[in-house]
Amino acid sequence: MSSDVDFADLVRFLSIERLATFQAITGSTGEAISLHQQTVRLGSQLMVLTAGIEVALRNAVYERLENYYGKPDWLITPPAGLVWIPSESVKIKQAIKSARREKYAKMNQVQKRHLDMLIPGGLPAGTGKMAHQRLVALRQEQIGIPVGQIMAQLTFFFWKRLYSKDYANVLWTPLKNVFPNKRLTRAEIATQLERLYQSRNRIAHHEPIFGRRLRETLDAIEFFMNHFDGRDADGVPHISKLLGEDLERLKISAAELESRIASFKVPGGG
């Protein structure tokens, strides 16, 4: 095997700090880099699953609350009894703003100028960069956005928050049916969604997941697969038809990673 000196450029790409954990496990720079890359590949498999879970949860929660409240715009104009606390209120406003900005960016100049006629009070006075930025902001405020586009801008953070204790008195009754097992508590569901959210964020920031965190993430994924939405007549979870094969591949990769890490441990070393 090449000497550690030969890996100087690779260490520079990844950073000494990032490799420190793997160096401690393997005792070798080359093995540390290889192990790091193995966790990155596993992270890409995890992202497929967490992305699928996020989209499925988002759509199921939205549909359930739309049916429960009898209004498709419950996100934007919450019904009586549902009051968004600041963390969610801010996220919704940001989602609307982002959706409008995306739609505005796809408009041609004629379409953008057409928005000027909708601005209350007419065009803002002044010229220059600040005036143009103000005009763009006012134009974007006139753009109507379908609920589906706003939903797509809301992240896993928002949807898992709806199972938090902050909304237990208002949302638990309609949302518990998204996980049909009557024995499940809100806290159990919230805990597993939180683990998925934390792992998803680590993956998005290219942080490695292994050991206890990986085992907890796998448990959370299996929890979701077993309890979300229900099963068909043969007892097969509906969601497993979408993500089941991905989960099986992930389990194999996780077992290989854990086995490799274990192989570096010194017998009797604690």
pLDDT digits (tens, 9 = 90+) for 114-125: 999 898 887 777
Is residue 17 in some structural domain? yes
Q: How many domains are contained in the chain?
A: 1
Question: What's the whole-model pTM score?
Answer: 0.88
pLDDT digits (tens, 9 = 90+) for 189-199: 999 999 999 99
Domain residues for the domain of 240 are 1-264
pLDDT digits (tens, 9 = 90+) for 79-103: 999 999 999 999 999 999 999 999 9
Segment holding 65, helix H or strand E: helix 29-69
Is residue 269 in some structural domain? no
Is residue 249 in some structural domain? yes
Is residue 270 in some structural domain? no
Is residue 49 in some structural domain? yes
Is residue 92 in some structural domain? yes
Please determine, for residue 6, whether its predicted confidence score (pLDDT) is greater than 80: no
Is residue 82 in some structural domain? yes
Is residue 130 in some structural domain? yes
Contacts 24+ apart (CB under 8 A), 195-200: 195/219, 195/220, 196/50, 196/53, 196/156, 196/160, 196/220, 196/221, 196/224, 197/156, 197/157, 197/160, 199/46, 199/50, 200/46, 200/47, 200/50, 200/54, 200/156
